[in-house]
Amino acid sequence: KTYELAANDGQNHLHGGLKGFDKVVWKAKPLEGKGWAGIEFTYLSPDGEEGYPGNLAVKVTYLLTDENELKINYEAETDKPTPLNLTHHSYFNLKGQGKGDILDHVLMINADYFTPVNDQLIPTGEIKAVKGTPWDFTTPHPIGQYIANVPGGYDHNYVLNKKEDELTLAARVIEPESGRIMEILTTEPGIQFYSGNFLDGTITGKGGKVYHKHYGFCLEPQHFPNSPNQPNFPSTILNPGEKFESQTIFKFSVESVR
């Protein structure tokens, strides 16, 4: 049987469709424990929503810890085989609100390979070594150092150096002026790095500040985009009787400012 998903990015399906999980109302429950506080969100996506098969029960838990961590835990179950690829799409600027772009942030991504894309930013199925390319962040360097050599800017999935389902350091970002550090750990096999290429000044944030191009970046732990069409990518199909589980941790700290 063929399932046709909602096309909301040209001919492609992005962020779950016209009304993705970021646009639905979730049930919420506060949580609290020793050294942490959080909230649990649950949602039942009915069979056929945005074209997806199966009734999908999803639970996402956000925990803030005394160790300056944001822990995100995902769980999901379905009654029909269905593709599932959950992530977190926050934008970050470690300089702070209204302090300019993120091109001087120093980034490390723990990945020797990435998945090249076509002119619609869809992975082609190729898995390519980053060495010798502008996509190589194995050695930390400023985001803007080679961005002029990347058509349109960074919006690519990286194949993390890790064992399956192992919680591993995926990326580290340092803002050199403030010394603020963000580390991302995840059980996911990939991470999407997006350098805010489509921010165009039409979004206004805190204090009336406007978000221009490259004023924020995203690091989104997930399975590889376009996985259902690429058999060599890790599968995103969740089957009845299986339970999807995933964890991502954003950890914040400060280094000594020179």
Class of 21-254 in CATH: mainly beta
pLDDT at 143 over 60: yes
CB–CB of 5/50 below 8 Å?
yes
Answer yes or no: is pLDDT of 205 > 90.
no
The predicted model gives 5-22 an average pLDDT of: 92
pLDDT at residue number 257: 52
Confidence check: pLDDT of 231 > 70:
yes
Identify the pLDDT of residue 207: 87
Question: What pLDDT sits at residue 258?
Answer: 47
Confirm whether 220 is a catalytic residue.
yes
Per-residue pLDDT tens digits for 74-128: 999 999 999 999 999 999 999 998 899 999 999 999 999 999 999 999 999 999 9
pLDDT at 172 over 90: yes
Compute CA distances 16 → 49, 86, 104, 238, whole Å.
10, 9, 32, 15
Q: What is the pTM of this model?
A: 0.94
DSSP 56-107: EEEEEEEEEETTSEEEEEEEEEESS-EE--------B-TT-TTS--STT-EE
Candidates 173, 196, 170; CA nearest to 248 is 170
Residue pLDDT, tens place only, 160-171: 999 989 999 999
| 212 labelled catalytic | no
Q: Are strands 203-204 and 210-211 parallel, antiparallel or unpaired?
A: antiparallel
Question: Which entry of 67, 89, 126, 245 is annotated as an active-site residue?
Answer: 89
Query: Of 49, 77, 188, 220, which one is the catalytic site residue?
Result: 220
Quick check: 213 pLDDT over 80?
Answer: yes
Predicted pLDDT of residue 107: 99
How confident is the model over 35-44, as pLDDT tens digits? 999 999 999 9
For the chain, give every domain's residue range. 21-254
